[in-house]
Structure 1
Amino acid sequence: MIRVLVADDEPLIRAGIRMILDSADDIDVVAEAGDGREAVRNARETAVDVALLDIQMPVMDGLTALAELGRAAPRVRVLILTTFGERDNVLRALGHGGAGFLLKDSAPDELIHAVRAAAAGNAYLSPAATRHVADALASPTATARAEEATRRLDGLTARERDVLALLGEGLSNADTGRRLHMSEATVKTYVSRILTKLDCDNRVQAALLARDAGLHTGGV
């Protein structure tokens, strides 16, 4: 069972999210919070797998709470849920180690899918958020980022680059294993090694590096 914390300062929004998530047999909303500070406290004190954080909350906003959770409860995977799709918010969420970003007008099935993906250790970006990331990659600094990403990937073996390319496509460990004819445990070992070599805190950051470097699967 995936145990979820929902943090939003609007009770009706929390109730709606709870109703959607509780409709899934494998998801259980075990805690709620009306502000970021309460969310951090609940996540630290409750066995939570995934936290859904609104960006605009009183006392402590969602992005600040995300950074705090990285220190106080690093086991918790965090999805940022908001009505605001500005590029800077998306990039800040990913930079702070968020497992994904989706908008409040996302379809119920997308919300459930995002929670499952985060719980499985995978990154999730809504289509709208993906467009913002793509816009950022097309900015004037994209060339410099591409050069830096390429340099950092130079230390990877050919097989590690294959795994990273599929990670960049958002594939799960299981799907990556099927594509590369590896066991899921072997893929996990590769991912851990890749994160260490690239000095990345999570899969999302590694995936963005892969995209910056223009890494492709080459038909694997």
Structure 2
Amino acid sequence: MTQIGSREVPIAPRLTVAVCAGNELVRRGLGSILDDLAIVETGVHCENWEHACRLMSTTPIDILIIAEAGYGSCQLPDGVQTKILVLVDATDLRTALKDAPPWAHGFLARQDLTPTGLDEAFRRVAAGKSQIPARLASELIQRAAAPLPARAARPAKLTSRESETLALLADGLSNKQIARRLSISDHGAKRLVASLLLKLDSPNRTMAVVTAIKSGLIEPSVT
């Protein structure tokens, strides 16, 4: 483990990170931050989604940052293993979630975008953990707490063990950490997580947490 600010984050190998943004200033701004991060071995830029798809299909890209809205309906090319981080405006949550691709592996709050925050996010995603900024998670939970009719119909019925696992996923724990917390085998934790992804119709851990919070499956725990 290594220390970032006051928090410990997993050690990760040096990464190839791409930024997808039509705005040149956005690309240059993020590129300058990437240049200063020791964890980033190579930073590349994509002007649009088509360019990003070609790049991911031909080059090993570890992480792609989608820095603009409008990619919610895009399809990820088959066989691509790139982890996707979406830059969102935490003050406009409705638009952020509407536009977010369903296969996103995590979110970055534009308001909290710093070298330290990016470094920590990259390490978490590289380690297979969920990446949801505290600001965004708090707003998601508060939205879930609102008395909306849509919350009456929950998308899945979870067992007590699955509910425990979901809460740990929301805290960003890995499968091994979940196994230790629940005193079960690593295989058992992996099976529980897989069951949650299936029941919540989510392609990855981050989107499972987002779906659960929006649907009210994770009860409000912040004020």
Which TM-score bucket, shorter chain as reference? 0.7 to 0.9
Alignment of 1:38-187 (within 5 A): 38-56=51-69, 61-64=70-73, 67-69=74-76, 71-72=77-78, 74-82=80-88, 85-94=91-100, 96-105=102-111, 106-141=113-148, 143-145=149-151, 147-149=153-155, 152-154=156-158, 156=159, 158-187=160-189
Q: With the length of structure 1 as denominator, give the TM-score of the two structures.
A: 0.75
Q: Which amino acid aligns with 1:101?
A: F
Contact 1:177 1:184 survives alignment (8 Å): yes
Cα deviation code 1:48-94 (max 9, x no counterpart): 121101115xxxx4434xx322x445522211125574222322255
Cα deviation code 1:144-202 (max 9, x no counterpart): 325414xx124x3x333322221123322233233223454542232123222443222
CA distance in 2, matches of 1:208, 1:44: 27
Flag structure 2 segments of 5+ consecutive residues without an equivalent: 1-12
- The percentage of aligned residue pairs carrying the same residue is 27
Residue 113 of structure 1: how far off its partner (Å): 1.4
Count of residues paired in the alignment: 205
Residue 33 of structure 1: how far off its partner (Å): 0.6
Flag structure 1 segments of 5+ consecutive residues without an equivalent: none
Q: Which amino acid aligns with 1:33?
A: C
Q: Which amino acid aligns with 2:132?
A: L
Contact 1:147 1:213 survives alignment (8 Å): no
Greater RCO between the two (CA within 8 Å, min separation 6)? 2
Residue 32 of structure 1: how far off its partner (Å): 1.4
Q: Runs of at least 4 residues of structure 1 off by over 6 A?
A: none
Distance 1:216 1:166, change over 3 A: farther
CA distance in 2, matches of 1:185, 1:25: 33
Contact 2:20 2:65 survives alignment (8 Å): yes
The structure carrying a bigger helix percent of its residues is: 1
Q: Which amino acid aligns with 2:33?
A: I
Q: Which amino acid aligns with 1:81?
A: L
Q: Which amino acid aligns with 1:45?
A: T
Q: With the length of structure 2 as denominator, give the TM-score of the two structures.
A: 0.74
Stretch moving more, 44-53 or 102-111: 102-111
Say what the alpha-carbon RMSD is for the aligned residues: 3.0
